[in-house]
Structures are given as structure tokens and as C-alpha cells.
């Protein structure tokens, strides 16, 4: 299970690859991994956080888990920042808390002391977790803050857009995917995949979170432009940040391992992420075209006179 | 047309982690403070007289354990040039080697303690091993740590449980808060609470504590540290004589060209009992260091290939003889 927080990098423009490396260099002696095709994507080294707390269970039964959370930050296209954390929940062999070195030898694993049902925990985590339970959102949020607080950023973002959070649970079984929008900023994802869990699943969730955030942000910008009720030039001015900063970032499933691409594909069929994105992009471009035409004909008018 | 399967790779997107050659065991023949050296060669000879039988024992134990009896044992000696500097390598090192030879001991590698903090030469390009380890500390969480708050840290301190709550001086009308004990996290019956000072800072200069540097030293001997994927401070053979300045001495000097590798699956340190508290602190620190996954996998794979079963937790790969 994991949680991804996504937001606009607090900088006036896109940051360069070398700045990305510095911003994400959160551990001494560890390199930031950067891939350039088909879009620049930088991934920080992984950090661990120790936890010993109740795990969220839908049945509200008390389940204690001890272990470490893996966290990392990413910057996509020099523009979109993420803080992402996850754990793998396994049954503990000993029924008591062991020396800390035991848990450190299993990074990213939280061991459950006592009995717990996987379905109960999955339901609890994507539902409404009780306070005091494992809070991956807080951990991810802190890692995103870490990126956003970098002194290398000028903190002059071109527009304000809220962060989104994607809480996900992956289980082994017959392939299925369920993406749910809750409030404006909260999403959950239930994923069932064949074979054991691998970090490739985390890549998929981060990729989905990035694109969901892009879609959400573009929707907000188009909404704010009040197309049809405000004068054309004004609407276009309000759409400008989307053209400058977002439209080129849509690269679904670019870094998703091949065996997981069918999950993206099925989301493309229903609800159709790319379909919605394209219709929004067309709408933005049509507005710009219309406005250009209006300006051209206006100047032609004045020329004739 | 048959579909074409494309693969595409980017070097900057991959992680490359170098591997180190490994012995079965790295035996530390002693760790002396500068004041021990000041006491002269007699103190050194006494140290080596006590150590010699233990080295022989370790050798024979590993010969039994390794298939074919071909145990790789390397020996090392750490000189403390961090907290105080005494004499010069040109005077001191030959004295150590001589005293060891009197008891038929060979020192394969000589290391400088200050290199565990920070070391700079043309090859290493300035490695701050201590910072490297500091960034990999993962605090042992007391119960009810759910991730909602950043881990409670006393800057520069690391403990193995929950500290005793601060008891503020009782105010005039205030109610006195009774003392509460600290609690060890994974206690067995009763707590043994350990709180270790990692460093102190006077102005801009940070002084790392002796246990912290000793923890770095153990990680270095276990071959578990990497800096940008490379092995930091590989042993260097010395050409020419011993330098007159500690700063001109490589971090780890290989004294015997035929010696087994410096880093090893396990370590053994033969120390005086006065190091007991330091080593308890070292273990407290080491049990909170997250070592690179890839490095652990490399070592596990290699040892399995050799038929040597290693302890999963790295603190269990370290042993001591206190004499």
C-alpha cells in the first residue's frame, strides 16, 4: 500500500536537469536517477522512515504493525513534483517487537504482530483510516515539502493549484484496477495484479497520479477561464499558463513496465484519461484560434477604415 | 509483419553499484588512543601479546567453517588521528609494526580514524563518510509512531527507545509532574536505555563522536558503504616511505601486497574492556543504519555462492573479544 502526493513545482518555470539532480539529492553519496525519454523524469534516492503503530482496518480491529516506510521524490518534466511512500505488509513470524536491526534488514516491509486479514487492511486503508493509524500521506507530504522547500526554487509558481493525493493498495490475484475520485484532491486506487509485488507497481501508481494531477489541473484552469462568459481575450489569457506549463507533459505509461501497461490501457478505455485530456486540449487550442481570428478580423476592420 | 520488440536504455536512469573484494573476516588487532602511543612501545607490545592467541583462534575457526579450509582473514589496525595528533606516521607506524612482529602478528591494513569523518585526496575527490552514514540513519520508532510527525530527534543524539519526559522545574502553583523512566523499544523484561551523542558543534565545526566514527569504521570493514555507487576509500599501497604528516597518509594503507581483501563478510575486534561502552553505542548506531539494498544483495549472493551463511542483520556480523 502507498500514497502519492503530486503538486506543481514551486518555481516560475521548468527547472533544468542539473537543478533536478540538486533538488532531489536528499541523501549524501547517492545519485539521482534521470531518464530523458520520452520526458525528463528525475527520481530521488529512497529514504526510510520507521513506524510502530496501528494499521487501518475496516473492521476497526486493532492491528499493530512495525517496520519501515520507503519514500522517494520525483520531478517530471521539470514541472511536476511528487512525494511517494509505500510499504509491503507481511505477517510477523515472532509475535513481539524485535530489535530494530531486524526491521532495517527488510526495508519497506511492515510486519503485522498478531492476526490480520489482507482484505480488511486494504479496505481500511482506501476507506477512512482512524486517527493514529499508519499515516503514509503525512510521510509523502513531508517528502514533497522537502522538494518544494529547496532553496534552488524561486517559489514563484505561475498559477496556484492544490496538491492531489492518490492512496493505493495492490494485491496479488486476477488482474483488475479500480480508480476512484473522492473529493477534489483525494483519489484511491485498488489494483490486483498477477505475481508478487515489485516496485514497478509503485512506478505505475506514480505515473497514474501524475496524469490524474495534470488532468485535474487542466480542468481547473479551463474552469477558471470561464469560456463563453468572459471576453475571448481574457479567457485566453487565463488559459495561457496551461499552454506554457502543462500541455506538453502528457506522456501516459512512459515509464510503466510492459506487464503493467494493460492496466493503463484499461483505464484509457473507461473512463478514458487521454480522451478527456485531448478534448480539453482541443478546447484550449480552439479558444486561442478563435481569439486569434477575432483579433485578425478586428485589425483588418481598422485597416479598411 | 512481425511486431518488433524495442528495448531502450538510459545510463543516467540506471543505478550502478560497484562491488568490493571480500575476506571472510576482518580482524582488528587493536585500537589505541594517542595517549597509548605516548606510553611508548611497551604498551603496544602488551597489546599485541594479548591479541596474538585470539587471531590464531579466529583463523582456525574460519578454516573449519569454510569449505576447503581456505579462509581469507585480513588484519587491520586503526590509528586515532582525529581527536588528537601525536608524532608522525614516519615515527609511529614502524614502531607499531615492530611491536606486532615481535608476537608474530602481521598488520595487513593500517587506517586513519579521521578518514571515517572526511577524507580528501585526488582519487576520492572528498568523501564525507560520516555524512554518508548520517543520511542513512533510520530512527528506531517508539510505539505509536504512525508517520504523521517527523521522528522526534534531539539534534546529534540517537537512542534505542523513548527518552524520559523532561521534568521542568515546579512552578509556584503548578503541579509537579512525577519522573517517568525512559523505555527501551524492544526490551526483554527490563529496559537498557542507551542514548548516544553523535556529534557536537562548536561554531561551524562539527566534531563527530568516537562511537559514530567507530560505526563508520565497522561499515567500511564490512564493505557496506558506497559513495555515488563507488567504493569509498579503497586501500592504497604506499610507495616511498611513511610520510611526516598524517594528512599525507592514505585513508587505508595496504601494508602487505599479498594480504586478503580489507573488507570482509564479518568483523572481529580485539579490544580492551574500556571500549565496552563505546561498542554498545556503536551497536546502537549500527542497528539504525539502513544499508543500501543492492549492496546487501551483492554480499548475500557472493557469500551464498561460497557456502558461507551470513547473519541477516548487520550488527550480528560484528563480534568482539574484550581482553
| A210: nearest Cα among A2, A7, A3, A1 | A7
Q: What was the pLDDT predicted at B15?
A: 81
Candidates A31, A37, A52; nearest CB to B145:
A52
Provide, as residue numbers in chain A, all residues whose Cβ is less than 8 Å from the Cβ of B194.
none
pLDDT tens digits, residue range A48-87? Answer: 999 999 999 999 888 999 999 999 999 999 999 999 999 9
Q: What was the pLDDT predicted at B167?
A: 60
SS3 content of chain B, % helix, strand, coil (to 5): 35, 20, 45
**Cβ of A29 and B160 within 8 Å?**
no
Do residues B268 and B27 make contact, with C-beta atoms less than 8 angstroms apart? yes
Do residues B66 and B24 make contact, with C-beta atoms less than 8 angstroms apart? yes
DSSP B192-213: ---EEE-EEEETTEEEE-HHHH
- Type and span of the H or E element at A63: strand A63-76
Banded model confidence at residue A140, pLDDT cuts 50, 70, 90: very high
Q: What was the pLDDT predicted at B169?
A: 57
Distance CA B58, CA A210 (A): 56
Q: Is B148 on the interface with A (CB under 8 A)?
A: yes
The mean pLDDT of A256-279, rounded to a whole number, is 92
**Cβ of A33 and B228 within 8 Å?**
no
Neighbours of A229 (CB within 10 A): 8
Query: How many Cα atoms sit within 13 Å of A103 on the Cβ side?
Result: 36
Decide the pairing of beta strands A80-86 and A2-8: antiparallel
Decide the pairing of beta strands A33-35 and A164-172: unpaired
Instruction: Give me the percent of chain A exceeding a pLDDT of 90.
Output: 80
Distance CA A89, CA A2 (A): 11
When computed from its CA atoms, the radius of gyration of chain A, rounded to whole angstroms, is 22
Q: What was the pLDDT predicted at B208?
A: 95
pLDDT tens digits, residue range A204-254? Answer: 999 999 999 999 999 999 999 998 888 888 889 999 999 999 999 999 998
pLDDT tens digits, residue range B95-137? Answer: 999 999 999 999 999 999 999 998 887 776 778 999 999 999 9
CB-based contacts of B24: which residues, under 8 Å, 6+ apart?
B62, B65, B66, B71, B72, B73, B260, B264, B265, B266, B308
**Cβ of B287 and A100 within 8 Å?**
yes
Candidates A35, A69, A104; nearest CB to B10:
A35
Q: What was the pLDDT predicted at A186?
A: 94
Which residues are bridge partners to A188 per DSSP?
A167, A180
Is the per-residue pLDDT at B239 higher than 90?
A: no
Do residues A271 and A211 make contact, with C-beta atoms less than 8 angstroms apart? no
pLDDT tens digits, residue range B268-313? Answer: 999 989 999 999 999 999 999 999 989 999 999 999 999 899 998 9
Query: How many Cα atoms sit within 13 Å of A61 on the Cβ side?
Result: 13
Phi and psi at residue A8, to the nearest 5°:
-80, 130
pLDDT tens digits, residue range B32-60? Answer: 777 787 888 888 899 899 999 999 999 99
Do residues A188 and A126 make contact, with C-beta atoms less than 8 angstroms apart? yes
Q: What was the pLDDT predicted at B106?
A: 93
Distance CA B215, CA B220 (A): 9
**Cβ of B286 and A36 within 8 Å?**
no
The mean pLDDT of B11-23, rounded to a whole number, is 86
Helix axes A199-225, A232-245, angle to 10 degrees: 160
CA pseudo-torsion sign A227, A232, A236, A238 = negative
Candidates B13, B144, B313; nearest CB to A53:
B144
Residue with cell 602511543: B37
Banded model confidence at residue B1, pLDDT cuts 50, 70, 90: low
- Name the more confident of B15 and A163: A163
The mean pLDDT of B160-183, rounded to a whole number, is 75
**Cβ of A29 and B228 within 8 Å?**
yes
Q: What was the pLDDT predicted at B119?
A: 86
CA angle A67, A72, A73 (to 5 degrees): 155
Is B85 strand, coil or helix? coil
Distance CA A29, CA B114 (A): 18
Minimal C-alpha gap between B225 and chain A (Å): 9
pLDDT tens digits, residue range A155-213? Answer: 999 999 999 999 999 999 999 999 999 988 999 999 999 999 999 999 999 999 999 99
Distance CA B216, CA B219 (A): 5
pLDDT tens digits, residue range B81-105? Answer: 888 887 888 988 999 999 999 999 9
Distance CA B223, CA B317 (A): 12
Which residues are bridge partners to A76 per DSSP?
A41, A80
Banded model confidence at residue B158, pLDDT cuts 50, 70, 90: very high
Candidates B13, B146, B314; nearest CB to A53:
B146
Helix locations, chain B, DSSP H: 34-38, 41-65, 89-101, 129-134, 210-221, 276-286, 293-305
Nine-digit cell string for A93: 513470524
Query: How many Cα atoms sit within 13 Å of B310 on the Cβ side?
Result: 27
Neighbours of A98 (CB within 10 A): 16
Banded model confidence at residue B175, pLDDT cuts 50, 70, 90: low
Q: What was the pLDDT predicted at A180?
A: 93
Q: What was the pLDDT predicted at A39?
A: 92
Banded model confidence at residue B173, pLDDT cuts 50, 70, 90: low
Q: What was the pLDDT predicted at B172?
A: 56
**Cβ of A139 and B147 within 8 Å?**
yes
Do residues A7 and A148 make contact, with C-beta atoms less than 8 angstroms apart? yes
Q: What was the pLDDT predicted at B198?
A: 95
Q: What was the pLDDT predicted at B174?
A: 62
Residue with cell 478527456: A276
Buried b / exposed e over B101-119, threshold 16 CB at 10 Å, is eebebebbbbbbbbbbbbb
Q: What was the pLDDT predicted at A73?
A: 97
Q: Is the peptide bond before A271 cis (omega within 30 degrees of 0)?
A: yes
Minimal C-alpha gap between A140 and chain B (Å): 9
Neighbours of B18 (CB within 10 A): 13
Amino acid at each position: 500500500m502507498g500514497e502519492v502526493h503530486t503538486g506543481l513545482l514551486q518555481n516560475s518555470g521548468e527547472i533544468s536537469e542539473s537543478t533536478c539532480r540538486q533538488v532531489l539529492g536528499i541523501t549524501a553519496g547517492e545519485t539521482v536517477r534521470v531518464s530523458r525519454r520520452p520526458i525528463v523524469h528525475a527520481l530521488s534516492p529512497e529514504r526510510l522512515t520507521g513506524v510502530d503503530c496501528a494499521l487501518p482496518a475496516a473492521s476497526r480491529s486493532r492491528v499493530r504493525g512495525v517496520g519501515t516506510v520507503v519514500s522517494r521524490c520525483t520531478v517530471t518534466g521539470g514541472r511536476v513534483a511528487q512525494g511517494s511512500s509505500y510499504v509491503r505488509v507481511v505477517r510477523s513470524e515472532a509475535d513481539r517487537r524485535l530489535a530494530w536491526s531486524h526491521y532495517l534488514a527488510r526495508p519497506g516491509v511492515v510486519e503485522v504482530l498478531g492476526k490480520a486479514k489482507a482484505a480488511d487492511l486494504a479496505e481500511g486503508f482506501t476507506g477512512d483510516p482512524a486517527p493514529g493509524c499508519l499515516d503514509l500521506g503525512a510521510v509523502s507530504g513531508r517528502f514533497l515539502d522537502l522538494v518544494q522547500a529547496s532553496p534552488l526554487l524561486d517559489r514563484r509558481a505561475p498559477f496556484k493549484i492544490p496538491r492531489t493525493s492518490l492512496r493505493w493498495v495492490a494485491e496479488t490475484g486476477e488482474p483488475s484496477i479500480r480508480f476512484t475520485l473522492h473529493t477534489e484532491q483525494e483519489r484511491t486506487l485498488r489494483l490486483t495484479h498477477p505475481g508478487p509485488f515489485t516496485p514497478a507497481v509503485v512506478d505505475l501508481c506514480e505515473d497514474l497520479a501524475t496524469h490524474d494531477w495534470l488532468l485535474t489541473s487542466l480542468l481547473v484552469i479551463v474552469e477558471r477561464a470561464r469560456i463563453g462568459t468572459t471576453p475571448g481575450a481574457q479567457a485566453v489569457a487565463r488559459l495561457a499558463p496551461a499552454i506554457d506549463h502543462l500541455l506538453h507533459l502528457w506522456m501516459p505509461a512512459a515509464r510503466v513496465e510492459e506487464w503493467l501497461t494493460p492496466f493503463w490501457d484499461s483505464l484509457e478505455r473507461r473512463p478514458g484519461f487521454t480522451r478527456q485530456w485531448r478534448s480539453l486540449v482541443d478546447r484550449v487550442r480552439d479558444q486561442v484560434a478563435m481569439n486569434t481570428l477575432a483579433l485578425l478580423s478586428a485589425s483588418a476592420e481598422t485597416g479598411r477604415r | 509483419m512481425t511486431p518488433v520488440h524495442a528495448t531502450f536504455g538510459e545510463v543516467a536512469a540506471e543505478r550502478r553499484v560497484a562491488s568490493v573484494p571480500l575476506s571472510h573476516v576482518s580482524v582488528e588487532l587493536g585500537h589505541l588512543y594517542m595517549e597509548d602511543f605516548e606510553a611508548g612501545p611497551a604498551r603496544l607490545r602488551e597489546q599485541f601479546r594479548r591479541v596474538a592467541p585470539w587471531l590464531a583462534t579466529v583463523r582456525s575457526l574460519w578454516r573449519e567453517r569454510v569449505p576447503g579450509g581456505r579462509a581469507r582473514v585480513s588484519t587491520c589496525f586503526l590509528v586515532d588521528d582525529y581527536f588528537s595528533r601525536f608524532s608522525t606516521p614516519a615515527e609511529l607506524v614502524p614502531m607499531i609494526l615492530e611491536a606486532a612482529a615481535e608476537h608474530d602478528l602481521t598488520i595487513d591494513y593500517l587506517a586513519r580514524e579521521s578518514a571515517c569523518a572526511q577524507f580528501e585526496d585526488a582519487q576520492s575527490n572528498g568523501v564525507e563518510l560520516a555524512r554518508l552514514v548520517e543520511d542513512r540513519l533510520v530512527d528506531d520508532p517508539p510505539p505509536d509512531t504512525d508517520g504523521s510527525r517527523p521522528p522526534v530527534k534531539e539534534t546529534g543524539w540517537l537512542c534505542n527507545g523513548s527518552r524520559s519526559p523532561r521534568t521542568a522545574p515546579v512552578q509556584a502553583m503548578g503541579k509537579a509532574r512525577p519522573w517517568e523512566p525512559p523505555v527501551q523499544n524492544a526490551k526483554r523484561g527490563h529496559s537498557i536505555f542507551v542514548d548516544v551523542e553523535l556529534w557536537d558543534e562548536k561554531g561551524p565545526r562539527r566534531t563527530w563522536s568516537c562511537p559514530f566514527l567507530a560505526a563508520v569504521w565497522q561499515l567500511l570493514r564490512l564493505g557496506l558503504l558506497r559513495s555515488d555507487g563507488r567504493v569509498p576509500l579503497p586501500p592504497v599501497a604506499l610507495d616511498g616511505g611513511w610520510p611526516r604528516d598524517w594528512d599525507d597518509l592514505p585513508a587505508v594503507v595496504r601494508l602487505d601486497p599479498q594480504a586478503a581483501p580489507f573488507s570482509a563478510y564479518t568483523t572481529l575486534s580485539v579490544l580492551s574492556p574500556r571500549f565496552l561502552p563505546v561498542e554498545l553505542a556503536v551497536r546502537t548506531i549500527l542497528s539504525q543504519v539502513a544499508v543500501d539494498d543492492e549492496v546487501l544483495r551483492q554480499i548475500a549472493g557472493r557469500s551464498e555462492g561460497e557456502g558461507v551463511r551470513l547473519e541477516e542483520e548487520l550488527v550480528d556480523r560484528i563480534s568482539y573479544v574484550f581482553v
